[in-house]
Each structure stands twice: as structure tokens, then as C-alpha cells.
Structure 1
């Protein structure tokens, strides 16, 4: 199975430019043979846009979800993307995984809200989301969630071996991409796809450095600071000697 991630600049508002970017990247990912493309957090309507989160947020089954599903179906490639979801008077920082047929594989609401902007704009989620992708058990987390070891461990204990993470990580927090994400992958023997923004949005500078970390904590592919579409073949590690993978879940002794 091949997985792709897109690292690019935030596009403010749910504009035709936003949807054109999604369509272009889906087409390119499909041409590279990817089963799933992962895009950043709150790609609709942009991350550092609290006024737009409230004004433009949409319910499940709305125009955004319908259009994104259609794009995935047209490209023949799955899509995982972050967006602002409204349910009644409540707004969530959410992500949805669509299959290559446009069907919803999973929908997730961010549990760990980061900083004053997110905490003022969104309500926290209260449940994990798992689903099958390419014969493996996968899950969604969003940005700050993956920095909490208990969340990732809980997923691994449920048999998850692939975690897809739309993110919006700023400059100054490079340790997340360089150390935390690879460490989470290695300690639990899982693959993590971490799709960040790059560039500047409303005064916030994003750090880029998106990556796909393999079960040994090594980056299968990684980006620099600029726009990039990365594709990795998970099958290249099929012949890894199994003793080299972490056995923490089996060996852990609780005191």
C-alpha cells in the first residue's frame, strides 16, 4: 500500500482555490499509486482563522463533505483532511477519511485542543476512530493528539498499526516532527503519517517537516520547509526482521 501526504500553505476560506488544491493533489497522489492522501488540519477553512471557523463551519453531510467525497471518487484515491465541523451550536476541529470510492471510512474530532485559539473556537472530541485501510487497522488523530503517549498507546492496544495525522504545527516546535512522531512510531511499532502546513497564515508561521515515520521510527519520506507531495510504499518494510520491532506492548509491566 502506498500512502501520500500533502504539505502546503493554508488557504483562507472555503474557496474554489481550496477545492482546486485538493483535487490537484488527489490526482497527483492517485497517479503515483497512492491508496490515501493525507492533508493538513483545518484545511477548510484554514487553521489560524477563528472567525471563519465559526462562520463557515459545516455539518456532517454538507457541501464540503459532499464535494470532498466526490473528488476522492473521481481521482480514485482516498482522502484524509481536516475541517471545521458544526453540530448545532458546537464546532469541532475534525478530520474525515474518505475511501477511493468516496465513502466515509472514519470521522474524528480532535481530543487535545492546543492553545487559546483552539480552546476558544472548538469543543473537544471524546472518542477515537478506527477503520480498515488496505488490510490494516488505521486510526485518525489530529496534531497535538499524537503528542500524548496514552492516546497513541490506546490505539495500538486496539490493534491499530497506521495512524493518519492532519496537523498545523508552527515554527519552533520542530521537536515534534524530529523526535516525538518518530518516537511514538518506534515505541509501538506503528506507522504515522504526519501532514503539516508550510508558509505563513494570519501571522502564524508553520514549520513544515511533514513525514511518514515507519515502525522503526525512521522517516520513510520527509519534507523540508516548502510545499511538497510525498509518497511512501509501506511494503518496502515487509521484510524487516521482526525482532527489531518494538515489543513494548507485550513486555510492559505495570507497577
Structure 2
């Protein structure tokens, strides 16, 4: 297990995008993402996190089949956006490989470099299971700005095992693009603080708001600290949360859980 002792790395300034889903229109999604990146960059942010399947939207299965893009095309377009803004980016997108379509999240650095590529392994609901292939492979981690990040998509953060696996490999921030519907507010209220506290990690959760093709999203994007306390939170309308993730060392002894070490 990677040992995370004392303060390390540097504070990271983040932006969390909460917006309406694009309903299958890739150009609309790119425009919203580009606007958010510009604001985040102007605010001095190091990283922007956007929702699950930001491009071309979530509740639009036919658009996933029609408009999913291959990795090279996704990399090219997202890299250009991040490099132009000079801000790292984590966002969801529909990815095609041959006949298979994946619910994917990509992390792109501020110079346009690919930091991480994660395909959702635990699909949720009939639409996802009918549309997407399950991802496979090792847990997705990357380093940026002196911090180690773990990447999960929506439903995956609800499994203690997946978060714990990332924490055991040294992740101190879980980045979670999501599309959490109305009626599932227990995730933000209970599960995310639990995942954060039991692993001594930050959770960054970027959700949609509004309604897309009959599905209403719950909003309430948030950032939770490793003590289980909320750092940033949104309501149910469009928002761009901006704040700083401090280093773990700023938390006083006794505040953070020792579960991770006790299980090693």
C-alpha cells in the first residue's frame, strides 16, 4: 500500500461544473465546457471537473450510438480545449472503439497531455447497460500538481471497495463525473462523506441539474474534505464551484480516520 504520511504536494485550486445536460448535441456540450474552462482559467484554477457523459449528454442513448467518438478524436479535441485555457480538465464522454461504446472519463493536463483514461466498469440502470460496454483493467490513478488523483464515474463511488482500492494506491483525491438523478440525494448526503472520511481523501463530485429527455437530475455537486465535511456545494441550478483543496497536512491530528492504515 502507498503510505501517505504528513503533508505532501501543494494546494490545488479546482472548479466543478454543474450544468444542464446537452441532450445529444455535441456542439452544445463543447460550448458549455469551453465557457467553463475559460472562467476557471481566469480564476486561476488548476483543474476543472465536469459531469458524466458531458459530451454529448447523458439520457440520450441514440446520440451515444450516433455520435460517440474514437479515443484519438476525443484526445485531440479535449487536449486543444485544455491547452488553450491552460487548465487541466476531467470530463465524461461517449467513446467508440470498433463496435463497442464506452462511458468514459478523460483527464487532460494544461498542456494538452492525457493524464488518465477511464472506462466505467460498474454501469447503472437499463439505459447504460443497453448502450455501453463495461470497462475493464486496473484502477485509474494519475499525478498532477504534486497530488495523486483517482478517477471514478458516478455509481462507482458508491462502492467502498473501489474507493478503498484507489486509496491503498495513494490516491488522496477522488474525482467523480456523475449524472445523479433526482431522488438519489442520499449519495451526496451520506455516501460521499463516508467515502471521504473512511479513506482520508477528498471527493470532487460534478453533477448535472435540470431535465434531459424526461430525466431530472439532482444537482448538488459538491467537494468533501477528508474529515467528511463539505468544502463546496451547489444547489439545483447551474453553477461553477471554485475553491482550493488544501494538503492533508493542514488537518489536525485526530481529525482524519486511521482506517486505511489500520487495515494495512
Aligned-pair CA distance for 1:235: 2.1
8 Å Cα contact 2:24/2:64 also seen in 1: no
User: What are the equivalent positions in structure 2 for 1:153-232 lying under 5 Å apart?
Assistant: 153-232=164-243
Aligned-pair CA distance for 1:52: 0.8
CA RMSD between the two structures: 1.3
1:26 aligned residue (37, 47, 50): 37
Aligned-pair CA distance for 1:238: 4.3
Aligned-pair CA distance for 1:17: 2.4
Q: What is the total number of aligned residue pairs between the two structures?
A: 252
Aligned-pair CA distance for 1:151: 0.3
**Higher mean displacement: 11-20 or 39-48:** 11-20
Q: Could you say what secondary structure the match of 2:217 adopts?
A: strand
**Higher mean displacement: 194-203 or 14-23:** 14-23
For 1:61, the equivalent position in structure 2 comes to 72
Runs of 4+ that moved beyond 3 A: none
In structure 2, stretches of 5+ residues that fail to align are 1-11
Q: Could you say what secondary structure the match of 2:21 adopts?
A: coil
Answering whether residue 7 of structure 2 is matched by residue 12 of structure 1, we say no
**Higher mean displacement: 242-251 or 10-19:** 10-19
2:259 aligned residue (240, 248, 253): 248
Q: Could you say what secondary structure the match of 1:80 adopts?
A: strand
Distance 2:253 2:79 in 1: 37
Aligned-pair CA distance for 1:237: 6.3
Aligned-pair CA distance for 1:129: 1.1
TM-score of the two chains, using structure 1 as the length reference: 0.96
1:122 aligned residue (126, 132, 146): 132
Q: Could you say what secondary structure the match of 2:105 adopts?
A: strand
In structure 1, stretches of 5+ residues that fail to align are none
Aligned-pair CA distance for 1:243: 2.4
User: What are the equivalent positions in structure 2 for 1:27-42 lying under 5 Å apart?
Assistant: 27-42=38-53
Q: Could you say what secondary structure the match of 2:226 adopts?
A: coil
Answering whether residue 121 of structure 2 is matched by residue 111 of structure 1, we say yes
